[in-house]
């Protein structure tokens, strides 16, 4: 599991207080990054199929609405570009038959869960395309900011290695700026 996927999983589990199941291997070399279930509201159980596409590389930091091509995905020079399109997620991560089959074994049926892509950023066209497909876009930057805000409160001690590392980084950054945000 990639570090960015671990951050998203830790965020869902420890900040949102959701049950999570990461890194689900599916038949045919497919994989589900994260399933999350929110039972914090007794009136409604909410399910999420979450995929991450986080890059800070200038050329690939934004999801796009460019067309997806399986042929171009197989070409080494075009893989990164193809993996940062909404159509890639629709075809390869959310609607592939092997993915849908695996989702069903966990009670994720069409219409009873939300599809989420976590990314550093996205183009306006990608935002429109995702909305039209019923896909939620979450900003990795917003997730990190929320983790930082909770960490700076000084009231939360994370035992999760990923969140604890981010919490310590937050503490070190604030101390270097001459701010004291309490014990961590």
- d(CA 168, CA 184) in angstroms, rounded, equals 7
pLDDT over 80 (residue 58): no
- d(CA 101, CA 158) in angstroms, rounded, equals 35
Residue 43 backbone phi and psi in degrees, to 5: -80, -25
Diameter over CA atoms, the chain: 54
Helix (H) or strand (E) holding 46: strand 46-53
pLDDT band at 167 (very low <50, low <70, confident <90, very high): confident
pLDDT of residue 138: 97
pLDDT over 60 (residue 127): yes
Q: Which region among 61-70, 91-100, 135-144, 173-182 has the lowest average model confidence (pLDDT)? A: 173-182
Report the 10 Å Cβ neighbour count for 14: 19
pLDDT of residue 82: 62
Could you write out the three-class secondary structure of 60-123?
A: CCEEECCCCCHHHHCCHHHHHHHCCEHHHHHHHHHCCHHHHHHHHHCCCCCCCCEEEEEECEEC
Enter the pTM of the model: 0.86
**pLDDT (tens digit per residue) in 22-47:** 999 999 889 999 999 999 887 889 99
pLDDT over 90 (residue 95): yes
| Region 149-161 average pLDDT | 75
pLDDT over 70 (residue 182): no
| Region 107-114 average pLDDT | 95
3-176 carries CATH number 3.40.640.10: no
C-alpha distances in Å from residue 79, one per residue of 59, 70, 135: 12, 9, 22
pLDDT of residue 55: 75
| Region 46-65 average pLDDT | 84
Radius of gyration in angstroms for the set of CA atoms belonging to the chain, rounded to a whole number: 18
pLDDT band at 179 (very low <50, low <70, confident <90, very high): low
142: which 2 tokens?
């917003």
């Amino acid at each position: 599991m990639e570090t960015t996927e671990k951050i998203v999983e830790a965020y869902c589990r420890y900040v949102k207080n959701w049950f999570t199941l990461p890194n689900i291997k599916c038949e045919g070399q497919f994989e589900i990054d994260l399933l999350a279930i929110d039972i914090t509201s007794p009136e409604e159980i909410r399910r999420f199929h979450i995929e991450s596409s986080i890059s800070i590389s200038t050329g690939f930091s934004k999801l796009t609405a460019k067309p997806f091509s399986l042929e171009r995905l197989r070409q080494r020079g075009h893989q990164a570009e193809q993996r940062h399109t909404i159509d890639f997620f629709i075809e390869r991560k959310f609607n592939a038959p092997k993915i849908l089959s695996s989702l069903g074994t966990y009670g994720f049926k069409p219409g009873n869960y939300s599809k989420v892509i976590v990314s550093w950023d996205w183009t306006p066209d990608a935002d429109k395309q995702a909305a039209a497909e019923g896909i939620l876009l979450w900003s990795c930057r917003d997730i990190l900011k929320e983790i930082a805000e909770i960490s700076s409160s000084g009231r939360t001690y994370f035992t999760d290695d990923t969140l604890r590392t981010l919490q310590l980084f937050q503490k070190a950054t604030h101390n270097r700026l001459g701010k004291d945000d309490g014990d961590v």
